[in-house]
Chains A and B, each alone.
Chain A
């Protein structure tokens, strides 16, 4: 699987819980270069052009994950970001600029798969990346809310329309996606949410 140069890929993990930082380091070490930050402020200090993937805890004291993400995008970094959270996602996530949404508790395999997908996202054009981000948001919402709750949320319905539209646009690029195709990802996430 993957390229032989994985050790060159730098992953920044941000979580205020040290035991989780340690676990993620142990899970990713060897395959990736892992850098950890225990707070949002530290994450922003450590962030530079060499970081390829960011795993960002959403609920942290002082600077929250969402705020860090906003700052990071403002500073012009378009590094793929996965939000890591125990917080039930609300429709507010529609406007957040992340690429993937992992819900705690996550397994080591989930984290590894997610980092692998995000690292490979960099190789595809913006359309694919947007499609991926939209699909993550849809599945995160669907995993935590029933259809009855979501069908009246205009933001959710808008998200679905955007996803449909981009699916057509991105048709050709999507065929080039690696083994973990996006449709498969979408299905896996929804099923695992039961």
Chain B
């Protein structure tokens, strides 16, 4: 059985060549055997037919065995991958939870001491508080990983335009002075779930946080373009752009270098888009342009009209 498994685990090319060689040898050899053993022509025809059927039967069993072995291998790997992903999510949750808790305690004590010190000594502790806040902020951002469902993200669809409208309204309210211009169609159903609102928010917030002039000068343009095979969101700002080294680190997927909070944010955008079957491109020249590409939920002509913002269900 093991030998059979080994045989079936061969690479497709080797397997095909093996089968070809076997076929050629079988046909020529068996033809010769039949020719030498039997003389009656009717008998030869009968034997040839039998031989043909035998060959077909043998081939069918081989194909069946091959397919089952491959299927079992795929199942095994899928199980391993699922377990590994689950374990990673659990590990991440435990690790992140502990970091958050410990940082809260550390920050708390620093804050207490800070309150008791004279002005001259406060500066040092302010750095400690800032750094603690950064770690806490990063840890909070990574929370989204725990609430991400890898399976539903690709199987469901959402109206991207509604998400963008909601998030932009929230962000304009939270960051008074920022103006966000929307150039979007009425609706755009894409593959994914509500996790996409995190992606949109993170991308726009990134622009706001890195804006280095007065906040009311901050202009952000968000556009959505529906194409046959993809829906493209373009978020551009008039800010200072993203530092080159961070962009390089981001493009190479090198998380070790993405030590900045914005780096974590960029990485999360990329990751979350990826699990919804989308892609991200970031360009930085004068200002930053983030391009998000998503898969349309259905071909363009079949998209059902989305629920508009006015139709919020009202409870009495």
State which of B23-31, B95-103, B179-187 sits at the interface with chain A. Answer: B95-103
Q: How many residues of A contact B (CB 8 A)?
A: 27
Q: Which A residues are CB-close (under 8 A) to B105?
A: 19-20, 23
Complex CA distance for A91 and B158, rounded to whole angstroms: 21
Q: Which B residues are CB-close (under 8 A) to A20?
A: 101, 104-105
Complex CA distance for A27 and B101, rounded to whole angstroms: 16
Q: Is A50 an interface residue (CB 8 A)?
A: no
Interface of B is mostly: helix
State which of B35-43, B76-84, B166-174, B238-246 sits at the interface with chain A. Answer: B166-174
Complex CA distance for A28 and B131, rounded to whole angstroms: 24
Minimal beta-carbon separation of A36 from chain B (angstroms)? 15
Q: Is A96 an interface residue (CB 8 A)?
A: no
Q: Is A161 an interface residue (CB 8 A)?
A: yes
Question: A142-160 toward B: CB 8 Å interface, digit per residue (1/0)?
Answer: 0000111101101001100
Give the bracket for the number of chain B residues in contact with chain A. 35 or more
Pick the most buried of A105, A147, A148, A190: most chain B CB atoms within 10 A of its CB: A105
Q: Is A46 an interface residue (CB 8 A)?
A: no
Interface residues of A in 125-153 (CB under 8 A from B): 146-149, 151-152
Q: Is A106 an interface residue (CB 8 A)?
A: yes
Complex: chain B residue closest to A194, CB-CB: B174
Interface residues of B in 297-316 (CB under 8 A from A): 312-316
Interface of A is mostly: helix
Q: Is B197 an interface residue (CB 8 A)?
A: yes
Question: B105-119 toward A: CB 8 Å interface, digit per residue (1/0)?
Answer: 101110110010000
Interface residues of B in 145-170 (CB under 8 A from A): 147, 158, 162-163, 166-167, 169-170
Q: Is A67 an interface residue (CB 8 A)?
A: no
Minimal beta-carbon separation of A79 from chain B (angstroms)? 24
Evaluate contact between B97 and A146: CB separation under 8 angstroms: no
Complex CA distance for A49 and B100, rounded to whole angstroms: 34
From known contacts A86-B101, A154-B313, A194-B205, infer whether A146 and B108 are also in contact, taking CB-CB under 8 Å.
no
Complex CA distance for A23 and B158, rounded to whole angstroms: 44
Complex CA distance for A19 and B201, rounded to whole angstroms: 34
Q: What are 5 A-B interface contacts by the 8 Å CB criterion?
A: A104-B101, A107-B111, A146-B167, A147-B166, A149-B194
> Which B residues have a C-beta under 8 Å from some C-beta of A?
97, 100-105, 107-109, 111-112, 115, 136, 140, 143, 147, 158, 162-163, 166-167, 169-170, 174-175, 194, 197-198, 201, 205, 312-316
